[in-house]
Chain A
Amino acid sequence: MVVNTEVNIGVLKLNNPVLVASGTFGYGDECKEMVELHKLGGIVTKSLSLNPRIGNPPPRIVETTGGMLNSIGLANIGVKKFIQDKLPFLKSIGTSVIVNIAASSVDEYCMVLSLLEEQEGIDGYEINISCPNVKDGGLSFGTNLSITVEITKRLRSLTTKPLIIKLTPNVTKISDFARAASDEGADAVAVINTLVGLAVDIRTRKPKLSTITGGLSGPAIKPVALAKVYEIARSVKISIIGIGGIMTAEDAIEFMLVGASAVQVGTANFIDPSTAVKVADGIVLYCTQNKIDSVQKLTGAMQY
Chain B
Amino acid sequence: MSDPLARSPIRPPEPVVVLSGWEVSGRRAAGQLTLTDCTPLAKVSLRADLAGPAASEVAVPFGRAHRNADGVLVVGSGPGEWLLIGPPGRARQIRASLDELVGEPLSVTDLTHGRALIRLTGERAADVLSAVCGVDLSDAVTPDGAAFRTAVAALATDVVRDDVAGVRSYLLHCERSSGQYLFDALMSAGRDLGIEIDGFQAQGF
A, B bound:
no
Interface residue ranges, A against B (CB under 8 Å): none
